[in-house]
Structures are given as C-alpha cells and as structure tokens.
C-alpha cells in the first residue's frame, strides 16, 4: 500500500480499525456522517484525504445541513477516486495557496444564496442542491437536461485543473483556439447569457448551452463531460458490460470498454462512448426514464475533448507529489 493516497481496496473493520501489512488503518473521523474511507495510523488528523479537502462545512449542531453534507461528500469521494484514477495531481488547500479545497455550505442554513463556483482552488457547493426538489426546480428553470451534485463537482474541478494543467503560452493559445479567449469580460458574458441566451445553433459547437457563456465555462463543461464519459466507461468495464457484434445489435465490431483510457487515442474513447451511451439511453427508456446521456457530441466538441484528454494523459503526477501529499497529511496536527 505504501504511500498511495487513494487505494481501491475494500476492508472489513473491527472496532473501527483494520491491520494490513503491519499498518493499522482507522475509520475516517467523519464515519458518523457516512464517510467509509480509512486513515493510516501515522496520519494524526484522523480525517481521510477526501474529508480533509473540505475547508468549510456546516456547524456541528446543524444536523439538517450535515445530512446533506453526507450526500455531497459521497459524490466528492467518487470524484476524488476518479481524479486519482485518471492520474491528475492534487495539492490540498492547506499545503499551498491556490490548492484544492471545498466550501460545502447550505443556502437553507445560511439564509442567503450560496453561489456554486470555483475561485483560487476553492470549490463552493450549495448543499441544498442535494435535495431532489431544490435541484430539479433549478434544472427546469434553467432548461438543463442534466443536473447532479457529481456533475457540479466535475465541472468546478475543471476550472481548477485548467489553471493547473495549462502552464505555457503555446498550450494556452491552443486552448483559446478551441474554447475562445478566457480573458474576455466574464461580467459581460453573464449579462449576455442571462438576457439573450445561447445562440440558436449552439449544439453545433458546444456540449451545453451554459458552455456558450464564456471560454472558462466551455472548458469546465467539456472537462466535466470528459469525466462523465471515462468514469461511466470505467464502471462499465469493471462490471463487465460489453456490446457484441451481431445483426440484432446493428454492429459489426465488438465494443469492449476499458477501465483506463490513458494510453488510448481520444477516438477510441469517443467511439466506445457513442456505442455504450446509445445502449444506456435505450436501457433508461425501457424503465421510463429520460436518456442517461442526453447530449450530442459534435466534431468541434470532439476536438475539445481530445485537447482535454491530452492535457490529462500528459499531466505530471510524479511520485514526489504523492510523497509530499502523504507527508503533509502526516504533519497535519488538526483533528
Ligand atoms: Zn473521510
Ligand atoms: Zn463554471
């Protein structure tokens, strides 16, 4: 297990602990609120790496908000597991200014709107959106085909990684060619989007209406879709779902999803997803639901996803960074 921060092993606990290879692992101190991750014996903080990234949370006596926190933290653990799987580097907010952190607040408890967003490494989520009626009302009002907490998290972490992964002018120039100029006024973009709306033909070049608002949002929306796609393909592969060629499937080649697309071209990712998402959409309809993936990936969006695939697969997750993370969590004296 060594210095690995996120391991995929399930272990049965006795008295909230388990011994593996002479190391004791303890249940995360947030277990009461549904966290099922473990903490190494030499990490005195008592919180797992996912819970540690939560910078702000509801007050300890606000049990109504804490119940919503539990649901949001579950989505966040799924996100963090995927971030580790795709091999992206994470530096926590308490290790470095601009590092990744989460402010998880409920607009219901605060008595004021909580704006979902990202600023300088910190992702803010309104916990009230974990309530189905609240989230669904917003989704209908904004005319969105899809709105989930996991989707919010994947979008916001896209903002974080855009600045982490693009570090030279050549790559920024390529990014601007695809997504537009992020230096344009964000305030003007918001005003335009909420007064005029998306252009009529937005589907020809964007993954969502929201992506048309500003270059930052186009990148974050597309990044979220990259995570939707490889995450769902990964789960499909883990379950063993595949599509066989044959007359009844209208397919002349087998489709076998992979758990890891790191060494595959984006074309393979998108071809697998086109086939699998069509299948999943049919499964959903057979239960009377809407499409699992209610989006169309046009050629310009394919190119944007290809750029993100390239950024992610060449990201410098070094062993040293993993070591620093492990040491940092060991040094963390706050309970
Ligand atoms: Zn935890
Ligand atoms: Zn955004």
DSSP code per residue over 183-214: TS-HHHHHHHHHHH-S-TTGGGT-SSSGGGS-
Report the Cα 59 to chain-centroid distance in Å: 25
Residues 253 and 267 in one domain: yes
Residues 106 and 221 in one domain: no
Residue ranges of alpha helices (H) inside the chain are 49-52, 63-85, 107-110, 132-142, 149-165, 169-179, 186-196, 215-239, 266-286, 299-313, 319-331
Residues 44 and 57 in one domain: no
Residues near 129 by beta carbon (within 8 Å), at least 6 away in sequence: 116, 135, 138, 147, 149, 152
Judge whether 320 lies within some domain. Answer: no
Instruction: Using the predicted structure, report yes or no on whether residue 321 has a pLDDT greater than 70.
Output: no
Judge whether 327 lies within some domain. Answer: no
Judge whether 126 lies within some domain. Answer: yes
Judge whether 155 lies within some domain. Answer: no
Judge whether 324 lies within some domain. Answer: no
Residues 307 and 170 in one domain: yes
Q: What is the distance between the alpha carbons of residues 29 and 153, in angstroms, rounded to a whole number?
A: 23
Residues 86 and 211 in one domain: no
Tokens in use for 86?
A: 């795709």
Judge whether 112 lies within some domain. Answer: yes
> Which conformational region is residue 21 in: left (phi greater than 0), alpha (psi within -120 to 50 degrees), or beta?
left
pTM: 0.91
Collect residues with CB below 5 Å from ion ligand 1.
28, 30, 35, 37, 48, 51
Residues 290 and 183 in one domain: yes
Ligand 2 centre distance from Cα of residue 155 (Å): 6
* Long-range pairs for 116-122: beta carbons < 8 A, 24 or more residues apart: 116/152, 116/156, 117/156, 117/159, 118/156, 118/157, 118/159, 118/160, 118/220, 121/93, 121/97, 121/160, 122/55, 122/93
pLDDT of the residue at 32: 86
Where is mean pLDDT largest: 26-30, 44-48, 121-125? 121-125
Residue 207: CB atoms within 10 A of its CB come to 24
Domain membership of residue 128 as a residue range: 53-148
Domain count, the chain: 3
Overall size of the chain counted in residues: 335
Judge whether 209 lies within some domain. Answer: yes
Instruction: Using the predicted structure, report yes or no on whether residue 334 has a pLDDT greater than 80.
Output: no
Which ligand is closest to the CA of 154, given by its number? 2
> Which conformational region is residue 289 in: left (phi greater than 0), alpha (psi within -120 to 50 degrees), or beta?
beta
Residues 137 and 179 in one domain: no
- pLDDT tens digits along 267-290: 999 999 999 999 999 999 999 999
Q: How far is CA 327 from CA 2, 3, 52, 113, 322, in A?
A: 12, 9, 14, 37, 9
Whether the Cβ atoms of residue 83 and residue 157 lie closer than 8 Å to each other: yes
Which ligand is closest to the CA of 33, given by its number? 1
Residues 107 and 92 in one domain: yes
- pLDDT tens digits along 3-19: 345 667 777 888 788 88
Which ligand is closest to the CA of 329, given by its number? 1
Residues 194 and 140 in one domain: no
Ligand 1 centre distance from Cα of residue 259 (Å): 25
Residues 36 and 4 in one domain: yes
Residues 118 and 206 in one domain: no
Judge whether 154 lies within some domain. Answer: no
- pLDDT tens digits along 88-122: 988 899 888 999 999 999 999 889 999 999 999 99
Token look-up 């492990």 returns 326
Ligand 2 centre distance from Cα of residue 159 (Å): 7
Residues 126 and 176 in one domain: no
């Amino acid at each position: 297990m060594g210095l690995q921060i996120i391991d995929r092993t399930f272990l049965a606990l006795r008295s909230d602990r388990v011994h593996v290879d002479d190391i004791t692992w303890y249940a995360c101190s947030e277990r009461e609120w549904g966290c099922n991750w473990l903490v190494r014996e030499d990490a005195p903080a008592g919180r797992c790496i996912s819970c540690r990234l939560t910078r702000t949370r509801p007050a300890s006596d606000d049990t109504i908000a804490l119940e919503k926190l539990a649901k949001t933290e579950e989505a966040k653990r799924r996100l963090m597991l995927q971030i580790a799987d795709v091999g992206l580097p994470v530096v926590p907010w308490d290790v470095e200014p601009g590092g990744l952190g989460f402010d998880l607040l409920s607009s219901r408890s605060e008595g004021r709107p909580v704006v979902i967003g990202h600023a300088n490494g910190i992702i803010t989520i309104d916990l009230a959106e974990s309530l189905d009626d609240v989230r669904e009302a917003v989704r209908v009002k904004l005319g969105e085909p899809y709105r989930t907490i996991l989707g919010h998290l994947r979008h916001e972490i896209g903002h974080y990684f855009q600045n982490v992964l693009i570090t030279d002018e050549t790559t920024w120039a390529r990014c601007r060619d695809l997504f537009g100029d992020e230096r344009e006024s964000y305030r003007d973009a918001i005003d335009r989007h909420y007064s005029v709306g998306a252009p009529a033909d937005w589907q020809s070049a964007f993954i969502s209406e929201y992506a048309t608002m500003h270059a930052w949002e186009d990148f974050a929306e597309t990044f979220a879709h990259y995570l939707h796609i490889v995450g769902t393909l990964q789960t499909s592969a883990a379950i063993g779902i595949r599509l066989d060629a044959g007359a009844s499937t209208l397919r002349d080649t087998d489709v076998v999803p992979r758990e890891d697309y790191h060494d595959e071209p984006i074309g393979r990712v998108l071809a697998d997803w086109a086939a699998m998402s069509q299948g999943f959409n049919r499964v959903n309809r057979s239960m009377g639901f809407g499409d699992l993936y209610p989006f169309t990936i046009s050629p310009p969006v394919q190119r944007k996803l290809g750029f993100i695939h390239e950024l992610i697969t060449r990201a410098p997750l070094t062993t040293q960074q993993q070591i620093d993370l492990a040491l940092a969590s060991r040094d963390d004296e706050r309970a």
